Structure 1
Amino acid sequence: MKKTFIFLILLLFIIKGFSQTTPSTPFSKEDYLEKSKTQKTTGWIFLSAGLAITTVGIIGFANTDDIYDNSTDTYGALILTGPLIALGSIPFFISSGSNARKAATLSLNYQPIHIPNQGSLVQSSQPSLSVTITF
């Protein structure tokens, strides 16, 4: 019993030692934009690979003469795995959009406006709130 208790205590220390910690500095706008771009690229790669694999499977299956040939099993597997790979791109697109929204900046700017004043236009500036989303 004593050995088991000591083992469990040591196990708890080991688990705590390998756990993740929060970063000391928060992510900047550039970090979120780079992460968003990488995830979007990965999503497009998964989507196009899934569509290409499915297309190869369909074309190969349509060109086989013997349905009971071993190659039809391969084409059938391609037809089934292609859409699964394409569906795997959805989480990457969702994460990309989430990170892009985190990188959006909110700023206060002054927009020039023209105000009519006794038959002429006077240029003045008006404060405006702008949201900038960079992709």
Structure 2
Amino acid sequence: MKKLVLIFAILFSSFFELIAQTQDTKFLIEEYIKQSERQKKTATILMGAGGGAIALSFLLALTADDWNSPGFEGGVFLFFAGSATVLIGIPIIVSSAANARKAGRLSLELNSARVLNPENPPKTIYPALKISLPLNSSRR
């Protein structure tokens, strides 16, 4: 019985570092993901509105009778405004992708554990992928 208790004590003492998770990293990952989703939504709206303005500008310019008509001038104005809106949306979507990569990088770490290996020297650091499942999430 004493041997069995000793074996279990040694076995569980080698895995105690694997059980702990820090809430700070989990909170930071969630914040990066929320920020990435907000930025992606904003960039999509900006780029869609800009694309719509560009399409409307072509329609106004093609239906204008003269170069000096208000429809043609309005089309030119809408073209530049839509182009600026699309160009503003590009850095926002790039920033969204960067925040998503930061969240992914935080979830990939090197963990350490004491592994009992009688043949080789013990390996204490190994790559690991953290996967968390939100069981009480409000979004399902």
TM-score by length of 2: 0.57
Query: What is the CA distance between 1:31 and its match in structure 2?
Result: 0.7
Find the partner of 1:106 among 102, 105, 108.
Answer: 108
What SS does structure 2 have at the residue aligned with 1:99?
helix
User: Which residue in the other structure is 1:17 paired with?
Assistant: none
Taking the TM superposition and a 5 Å limit, the aligned residue runs for 1:22-101 are 28-101=28-101
4+ residue runs of structure 1 moved beyond 6 angstroms?
Answer: none
What SS does structure 2 have at the residue aligned with 1:129?
strand
> Is the contact made by 2:43 and 2:89 (CA closer than 8 Å) also made in structure 1?
yes
CA RMSD of aligned residues (A): 2.5
Cα distance in 2 for residues equivalent to 1:53 and 1:101: 32
Which has the larger strand fraction?
A: 1
Unaligned runs of 5+ in 2: 1-23, 112-125, 132-140
> Is the contact made by 2:60 and 2:74 (CA closer than 8 Å) also made in structure 1?
no
What SS does structure 1 have at the residue aligned with 2:66?
coil
> Is the contact made by 2:49 and 2:82 (CA closer than 8 Å) also made in structure 1?
yes
Cα distance in 2 for residues equivalent to 1:70 and 1:106: 57
Question: For residue 36 of structure 2, what is the amino acid of its counterpart?
Answer: S
Which has the larger helix fraction?
A: 2
Question: For residue 54 of structure 2, what is the amino acid of its counterpart?
Answer: T
Query: What is the CA distance between 1:106 and its match in structure 2?
Result: 1.2
Identity of matched residues, %: 30
Output one character per residue of 1:65-90: Cα deviation in whole Å (capped at 9) or x when no partner: 22221222111101111111101011
Question: For residue 99 of structure 1, what is the amino acid of its counterpart?
Answer: N
Unaligned runs of 5+ in 1: 1-24, 110-126
Query: What is the CA distance between 1:108 and its match in structure 2?
Result: 6.9
What SS does structure 1 have at the residue aligned with 2:128?
strand
Cα distance in 1 for residues equivalent to 2:92 and 2:128: 31
Output one character per residue of 1:90-134: Cα deviation in whole Å (capped at 9) or x when no partner: 11112111111121111579xxxxxxxxxxxxxxxxx763377xx
Question: For residue 89 of structure 2, what is the amino acid of its counterpart?
Answer: S
